[in-house]
Chains A and B, each alone.
Chain A
Amino acid sequence: MTRVVLLGPQRLQPTMRDVVRSLRPRGRIAVITAGWQEYETEIEELDQHMGGRAVNLELYRRADRVFRQDPELAIAHRERQGRLRQIRRLYNLRLRHAIRAAQELVRREDESVLVAEEGDAAVRAVRLIDEEHLVRVSEIHAAFEAQWLPRERDAVRRERRLVEELLSGVSAFAVAGGHVAILLNRLRLFDFPEMIRNRPVIAWSAGAMVLGERVVLFHDKPPQGAGNAEALENGLAVYRDVLPFPHARRRLMLDDPIRVRCMARRFAPLLCVPLNEGDRIDLTHGSLESPAGVMSLSEAGNIEPAGAA
């Protein structure tokens, strides 16, 4: 697997320059900003941090062009997304009650062995709901791929060839954040894992989320709703072991030990890692060879160096 560097959010505290310096890529850096949607091409600042070596792959614009040229695929894609939205609503309905029960029992698990066992069972129930949801989503994607063979379609192949030309002098990739589902769909459509070919990847925010094994949406304090984290779908698995939480300080209640504990147990064995401004995690060969220095949400309910327990 390839080398991956996960970074904290870059907008207010960019660390890209240092990372690029440390990776010393010989060629240019392919930039994917599809998550920025209409703002995809506005990469001047990013390019500066990369020493003027950025090549924008413009996957958002390319996907738009594909859908315009291949209306059949566009309709099928829209229908798939509609089905995914529907399933997501139902999943959230199940999740709402299961998470409330798990949090309540985990909060009380010091009371007795009996309550602790029920707490474990309640967390397992949440994990089961996640897993069932991910299976359903994977089935929908598999059926879509089998029926429509998106990568075999002329419009996609044409864009893919153009991308390949851009990649000839590229020795690293940078995947920015933005809209996580749109980014994931574009990367999947153009087969990003195949594109990499052992070249290092730098990713942050939504970019970091989609390249892992599982994409989890989260916000503990939304203005509406309970703020239950949800598994969106499987990621591209360019790296393993780690589940990143960008903007964790802002989006998670890290001082609530019950929420932290539930989160860590729910997603284990993946390591729940906050990715705040200035953070950097190196995944040599796409996995966490040594957790030393990596802070993670612990089953004890706090943030501590990975492996401390």
Chain B
Amino acid sequence: MNPVASHRGDQLAIGALLENGPPSPADVDRFLSKHTIPIVEGTHCTFLYRGEADAVRLRHFIFGLPSTQPFHRIPHTDLWYQIIEIPTNSRVEYKLEVIAGGEGHWIEDPLNPLRARDPFGANSVCHGTGYEVPEWTIPDPDARSGTLEEIRIRSGAFHRDCGVTMYLPARFRKTRRYPLLVVHDGNDYLEYSGLKTVLDNLIHRLEVADLIVALTTPRERLLEYADHEAHARFICEELVPRLESRYPLIGKPRARGLMGASFGGVASLSTAVRYPDMYGRLLLQSGSFAFTDIGPHPRGPVFDPVVQFMNNYREDPTRIADKVFVSCGTYESLIYENRSIVPILQSTGMDVKYVEARDGHNWENWRDRLREGLSWLFPGPLWMIYE
């Protein structure tokens, strides 16, 4: 891409730097200190790297663009850049691949302090024009804090004790009755999506009802979450009944929900399919809803049970809840699968809300959709309460 100007003819910052020939090290110092890296100008995003290397590449997680984008070295300097177009409101996670001495290393962008953590480490983050971290994801000192407590459930389905983290809303009272939300990958949601802060804030703002949330964690995730009979039995015949005897829960389908992302979305959907009268609310984020219309699938053997489950469900979809919230990032490889499941869910008479965002398959995308999903599935008394 032309480094000097955007499509509209505006000069980009990197173009201005190069205008008078190769910049001196002092010019580069000044340039880097003056700008937030990557430099976002309209829909143009300039990624930068400074250092000696044989090559530098942008490794982003945008499905639809080549995943590797080579940087250009500015002659006579150690400054590298790459410009890509990012639509407004995008949020992009990425790494840099720095190749030196024949070896490549994936690193977080040393010039960009923004990070998103996940179970595999962390990525650098680029906020496109218009994207803002939702303020309800940031701890609010005015919000009363819910509590977390650890419990253990003896599981006959898994032949082991399963640890579950329970979220109890602020001002929890045993004399009240609460809805229950069971969250797959619950600890990852806490850790990487800030779920406790989100719940505290949304409940404080009355946008979401006071909820009890059971945060479950799998032992063998790819097995247990791929339409696994024992997993569904654990959730529906062991966990939920135990919770309903231990906590003041409403105990009706309209007040029970399942939630999960990626394989956790499959686990939520397949559990509800196996126990169709139990849950009234589903929150499915970037579900790994792989399927085939004909022939084998390309996603590897771990997806075999998922594809079989999805093919069966797509063939004969059944009503399994009253309301289903589905979200997916448009930069995910799963966007096609998620878009195409929506009319199938709707065809059963379920009330389905589908939301997309310009983001990838990551925990902050899932975090950013929680307000819309939770407030739709478990609306709070916002209109009636004025404290």
Contacts and interface: CB of A to CB of B under 8 A. Distances in A.
Nearest to B381: A179
Nearest to B176: A38
Interface in B161-175: 171, 173, 175
Contact count band on A = 20 to 34
Given A38-B173, A38-B175, A222 B387 contact: no
Contact of A11 (B175, B379, B381, B387): B387
Contacts of A247: 386
A205 B382 contact: no
A209 B386 CA distance: 9
Interface string A26-41: 0000000001001100
A182 to B, nearest CB: 8
Interface stretch (B71-79, B109-117, B283-291, B368-376): B368-376
A90 B355 CA distance: 27
A102 B387 CA distance: 30
Given A12-B142, A223-B207, A224-B375, A246 B175 contact: no
A209 B385 CA distance: 11
A205 B386 CA distance: 5
Given A223-B371, A223-B375, A206 B385 contact: yes
The DSSP consensus for interface residues of chain A is mixed
Contacts of B120: none
A177 B207 contact: no
B372 A180 contact: no
A230 B384 CA distance: 11
Contacts of B376: 223-224
Interface in A199-228: 205-206, 209, 217, 219, 222-224
Contacts of A209: 386
B178 to A, nearest CB: 12
Contact of B382 (A9, A11, A219, A246): A219
A182 B384 CA distance: 9
A36 to B, nearest CB: 8
A242 B171 CA distance: 33
Interface string A233-276: 00000000000001100000000000000000000000000000
Interface of B: 142, 171, 173, 175-176, 202, 207, 371-372, 375-376, 379, 381-387
The 7 closest A-B pairs by CB, nearest first: A223-B375, A206-B386, A205-B386, A246-B386, A223-B207, A217-B383, A177-B386
20 contacts: A35-B385, A39-B171, A177-B387, A178-B385, A178-B387, A180-B384, A180-B386, A181-B384, A205-B386, A206-B387, A209-B386, A217-B383, A219-B382, A222-B382, A223-B207, A223-B371, A224-B372, A224-B379, A230-B383, A247-B386
